[in-house]
Structure 1
Amino acid sequence: MSNYTKILIAIDLSEESLQVVNRGCAMAAEKAAEVHLIHVIEPLSFAYGGDIPMDFSGIQEEISDQARAQLAKVGTDYSVDGANQHTVFGRPEVEIHQMAEELGSDLIVVGSHGRYGLALLMGSTANGVLHGASCDVLAVRVGT
């Protein structure tokens, strides 16, 4: 196993994502690696394709505030410094790759639900992260 020095843990802030944080932090402790947490918020306009003539800025800001608060709690619970907690907007796989590059991460840890059938064909965040990463990716099976 590589000697990882900087680990980026990507979480969706669900209860299951704590399994991902546990695994990533355990690996970091073994290797004395620096830990960063990232949560990516998909803009509401992505979900609705801009077809609804509404101003989502207030709702988006509230979602962002709640996500930052939840990420801060996870960071506190796992002793991850506030400067190493990142809440960003965009497509998860794109933003995770970009953050890993910016930080010089040598490992990305993501959760995987082990989807099959139609869900697998449509893809997942873990799959997107795996196929575009310039560093190692650990997919932690969650929800089992």
Structure 2
Amino acid sequence: MFKKIIVPVDIATPEKGLDIFTKAASLMDEGGQIVLLHVVEEVPTYLAIDIPVDMIENAANEAQDRLTELRARTGIDATIELRIGPPAREILACAEEQGADLIIIASHRPDFSNYLIGSTADRVVRHAKCSVLVRR
């Protein structure tokens, strides 16, 4: 069905990451590729003075380890990519740069601030140039 699938994973919710990763594998064409993506959010400059210097680096290292564990646990072949920045922007940029034909993204149960789907998922759905599957 799909040749290149981007799977953005929030390492804070590993069960959702496992769900969308296995779904991606079931939708991938033979010879296709999955990109497991994690985006480390930037720290606003007004807060940067109050946090440890290596916080972003440590977060990226932890994400790398968790995605590597997820890939090993499932036995599904995937490329791991880490980015730093606003999550929606980086997910969309990754999809465009990789020539993805699908993004599978998890969404949390909505609250009043984002009634239909999560704010990152909402931005990705509205701005993606490829198909997007949102899993709850």
Band the TM-score falls in, shorter-chain normalisation: 0.7 to 0.9
Alignment map for 1:42-53 (pairs within 5 Å): 42-43=41-42, 45-46=43-44, 49-51=45-47, 53=49
**In 2, Cα distance between equivalents of 1:17 and 1:138:** 13
**In 2, Cα distance between equivalents of 1:34 and 1:51:** 38
- Corresponding residue for 2:58? 62
- Corresponding residue for 2:2? 4
**In 1, Cα distance between equivalents of 2:127 and 2:115:** 17
Shift of 1:27: 1.2
The runs of 5 or more residues in structure 2 that have no matched partner are: none
- Corresponding residue for 1:37? 36
**In 2, Cα distance between equivalents of 1:140 and 1:121:** 12
**In 2, Cα distance between equivalents of 1:77 and 1:64:** 20
**In 1, Cα distance between equivalents of 2:135 and 2:37:** 15
Q: What is the identity, as a one-letter code, of the residue corresponding to 2:17?
A: S
Root mean square deviation of aligned Cα: 2.1
Q: What is the identity, as a one-letter code, of the residue corresponding to 2:65?
A: A
TM-score by length of 2: 0.85
- The superposition leaves residues 16-40 of structure 1 with CA deviations (integer Å, 9 ceiling, x where unpaired) of 2211112112112xx2221111010
- How many aligned residue pairs are there? 132
**In 1, Cα distance between equivalents of 2:53 and 2:117:** 29
Which of these residues, 66, 76, 80, is aligned with residue 77 of structure 2?
Answer: 80
Counterpart of 1:5 in 2: which secondary structure?
strand
Shift of 1:92: 0.6
CA contact (8 A) 1:36 1:80 kept: no
CA contact (8 A) 2:110 2:117 kept: no
**In 2, Cα distance between equivalents of 1:24 and 1:122:** 20
Counterpart of 1:110 in 2: which secondary structure?
strand
- Using the aligned pairs only, state the percent identity: 27
